[in-house]
Structure 1
Amino acid sequence: QGDHFQANRRAFLTNPEVEKRALKDLIREALSAGFYQIDIDASTLVDLSRESLEEQQRPNYELTAELAAYVRSLEPEGVTVNLGGEIGEIGGHNSTPEELRAFMEGFERSFSSGPGLSKISVQTGSSHGGVVLPDGSVARVQIDFDTLKTLSEIARREYGLAGAVQHGASTLPEEYFHVFPEVGCAEIHLATGFQNLIFDHPALPGEFRERIYAYLKEHFRKEWQEGWTESQFLYKTRKKAFGIFKRDWWDLPEGVKARILATLEETFEKIFRALRVTGTLERVRSLCG
């Protein structure tokens, strides 16, 4: 899954064609690599200075429609890419039914290139990767499950989507995970929690972790925002180390990897049970062949 193909607001306002070309290049690269779930995020372009919700969402739904059409034009034979959109930048104010309708109605007017969106990302109180505190710990996230339920119901009933997508849920306490299927959430994103488990695992050699952190401080210092502590900077940037140090991760001692993988497996099982997706192997086989 490709998450998320996001428009950079500043770059788009400076030169929209250059930014669109960059996003299309990324889409083409992802499809050629076999990524057949793509979440398009043009919510960064929402213009709150406009009076009507339709005009506020216009830059969002128009670019989403253009990129969705581009995806459809490149699909391999026999493949229908699963597409998602986003109505409110994650980390902002909670999304509303009116915003959802303004986006979807605008998208449907603008898009005519085959199957449209199957899911819609909404803001319900979370932020990508969670809110990291000065000491490097993560603040407890508060999800508005009533909003999530309402938006999922509207997405399904009025527009034929699978439902709403919850970003930034990986830092939510485990006891809340069972609520997502209860409110009809179609998808939740949990990558940061797994990343944290790996980096903070007691089996990970300290020397390796510190080597990664030293590299990040040297090569990504420009991303160190004013007011951030070192712990906050490292938390926000360490995801970049998986690609850069891919060979080193792969070559960790088997005993180290086994301990980390065992903890990951235990975590996956807890989440699968909470989300009620156990015992689905035959269902998956029937759909995927």
Structure 2
Amino acid sequence: MLFTNKKNLEEKTKSVMDVFKKKIKIIDEEKLKGEIIDDLVENLQFNKNEEIKKTCEKIIWQVAFQKGIYPASLYSFYQNLAKKKKTNFTIPAINLRGLTYQTSQALIKAAKKNKVGLFIIELAPSEMEYTHQSPEEYAAVILAAAIKQNFSGPLFIQADHFALDRKKYLNNPKLEIKRFKNLISRVIKAGFFNIDLDMSSLVGEGKEDVFTQQKNNFILTAFFTQFIRRQEPKNIEINIGGEVGEIGKKNSTPADLDVFMEGYKKELSRLGVSKGISKIGIQNGVSHGGDVLPGGGMAKSKIDFELLKKLSLMARQKYGLAGAVQHGASTLPLSYFKKFPEFQAIEIHLATDFQNIILDHPAFPSKLQKKIYQWLLQNKKNERKKGWTKAQFIYKIRKMAWGQFKKEITNIDKQAKEKIAKSLEERFNFLFNELKVKNTQKLINNIKN
């Protein structure tokens, strides 16, 4: 239910907790984890009264801290991984575009079942925009899901693909840098203590030499590394990643990594920054969401596992990073996932598969799906690339409908949501097993906020 004002909020929650004391006093744990936490999330997501939204966010944070749930950084953990010759697991980083409260519960439930501590929940700026999820809302909804599932311990919330807008930067660098700094400051305040910087769109692929290609990339990555370090909350060292090649473009090479890292290190030294990135995103034959065929099926992936291993070990052994990050893997054949730990991927980013599970699920309302597709055809036709079939267009662009239909999707039948959540939980169980992160809870118990 939506609260009409703060007094209404207090009236509806007073039998469960006293929310307007300096420290919230929880009276009824079970009722809190029942309808009250659900109501707080609903108001956080859909109440038009900003004061109520902020109050709900504040309550969720305070309850989470009382229950030992807190956002944390993986920086120190990755620093320790960098000292190892080889690693035996790959950490999943999961983007939640819709049904975020339900999906994060399924994720946390699977993590508890498998004693998984090493998982990341992330969102990119583009996703924040088209899913209508602010950083503040996203972080608080994840904390609420953890409360609901009786979770305790650190949660690793990550800002994914944090990039300058290429066109805006080339047109007005000062204005775009200012906008980007404001966004970084905002996500840090919201609890995103892991940030993947992605300046790869500014790599000059047409340039003759690798240094000239990578120059903008390593200079700007160093510049924003310095900015992030200056924004860090007390006692928190944010885990920062970089990216050496743009996903979906040409494959990264050892020369790319060498030039990027050498240039980056010199820039950091010039700026007086001692703590840099701890991981590096590479391109190895994949694309975001996969490549869909004209009939709607998926094209065979051209992923290069040997290149992944070569660059990951090089990053670790030569430059002291934890390893390479695999992007664009969500829609790969399921049999591929057990290969990532073997080929030394330190992290793998997954998004589209979970979107597909939700939108293509037998329990997802067919009328709503049809309505979404009609809206896309009418309102996103400018996104359609030349030669795309209808099936290709729908598959590639349907992510842009999450925000427009956020409330309708959230309000689908309870039983349908439960069936979808069960399928998501099964996929998370599978991924945790294949990526070998089961029983890693003990590895992160000493990470504090």
Q: Residue 201 of structure 1 is aligned with which of 328, 337, 361?
A: 361
- Deviations 1:229-248 (CA, angstroms, capped at 9, x unpaired): 22222222222333333322
Distance in 2, Cα, partners of 1:33 & 1:114: 25
**Percent of pairs identical after alignment?**
46
Amino acid at match of 2:379: H
Deviation of the 1:189 alpha carbon? 1.0
- Deviations 1:78-135 (CA, angstroms, capped at 9, x unpaired): 2222111111111122111111010011111112334210110001110111112222
Deviation of the 1:32 alpha carbon? 2.3
Deviation of the 1:64 alpha carbon? 1.1
Distance in 1, Cα, partners of 2:397 & 2:178: 26
Q: Which moved more, 1:94-103 or 1:126-135?
A: 126-135
The 5-angstrom pairing of residues 30-49 of structure 1 reads: 30-49=187-206
Q: Which moved more, 1:167-176 or 1:226-235?
A: 226-235
Amino acid at match of 2:192: F
Tell me which residue corresponds to 1:16: 173
Distance in 1, Cα, partners of 2:184 & 2:401: 22
Q: Residue 402 of structure 2 is aligned with which of 231, 237, 242?
A: 242
Amino acid at match of 1:18: L
SS in 2 for 1:2: strand
Amino acid at match of 2:216: P
Structure 1 residues 211 and 62: alpha-carbon distance in aligned structure 2, compared to 1, 3 A threshold:
same
Query: Once superposed, which parts of structure 1, at least 4 consecutive aligned residues long, lie more than 6 Å away?
Result: none
Amino acid at match of 1:260: I
Q: Residue 253 of structure 1 is aligned with which of 409, 413, 416?
A: 413
Amino acid at match of 2:369: R
Q: Residue 331 of structure 2 is aligned with which of 156, 168, 171?
A: 171
Amino acid at match of 2:385: Q
SS in 1 for 2:262: helix
Deviation of the 1:74 alpha carbon? 1.4
The 5-angstrom pairing of residues 38-187 of structure 1 reads: 38-111=195-268, 112-187=272-347
Q: Residue 4 of structure 1 is aligned with which of 129, 151, 161?
A: 161
Structure 1 residues 12 and 282: alpha-carbon distance in aligned structure 2, compared to 1, 3 A threshold:
same
Aligned residue pairs total: 289
Amino acid at match of 1:14: N
Distance in 1, Cα, partners of 2:180 & 2:289: 22
Deviation of the 1:147 alpha carbon? 0.5
Distance in 1, Cα, partners of 2:381 & 2:226: 37
| TM-score scaled by length of structure 2 | 0.62
Given that 1:170 and 1:190 are in contact with CA atoms closer than 8 Å, whether structure 2 keeps it comes out as yes
- Deviations 1:2-25 (CA, angstroms, capped at 9, x unpaired): 211123333322222233223223
Given that 1:141 and 1:171 are in contact with CA atoms closer than 8 Å, whether structure 2 keeps it comes out as no
| TM-score scaled by length of structure 1 | 0.94
Q: Which moved more, 1:76-85 or 1:263-272?
A: 76-85
Amino acid at match of 2:303: I
- Deviations 1:39-70 (CA, angstroms, capped at 9, x unpaired): 11111111134333122100111111112222
Q: Which moved more, 1:218-227 or 1:40-49?
A: 218-227
Distance in 2, Cα, partners of 1:215 & 1:28: 34
Distance in 1, Cα, partners of 2:370 & 2:242: 37
CA RMSD after TM alignment:
1.7
Amino acid at match of 2:233: P
Tell me which residue corresponds to 2:36: none
Which consecutive residues of structure 2, in runs of 5 or more, have no partner in the other structure?
1-157
Distance in 2, Cα, partners of 1:218 & 1:70: 41
Q: Which moved more, 1:243-252 or 1:71-80?
A: 243-252
Deviation of the 1:31 alpha carbon? 1.7
**Comparing both chains, which one has the higher relative contact order based on Cα–Cα distances under 8 Å and sequence gaps of 6 or more?**
2
SS in 2 for 1:35: coil
Tell me which residue corresponds to 1:191: 351
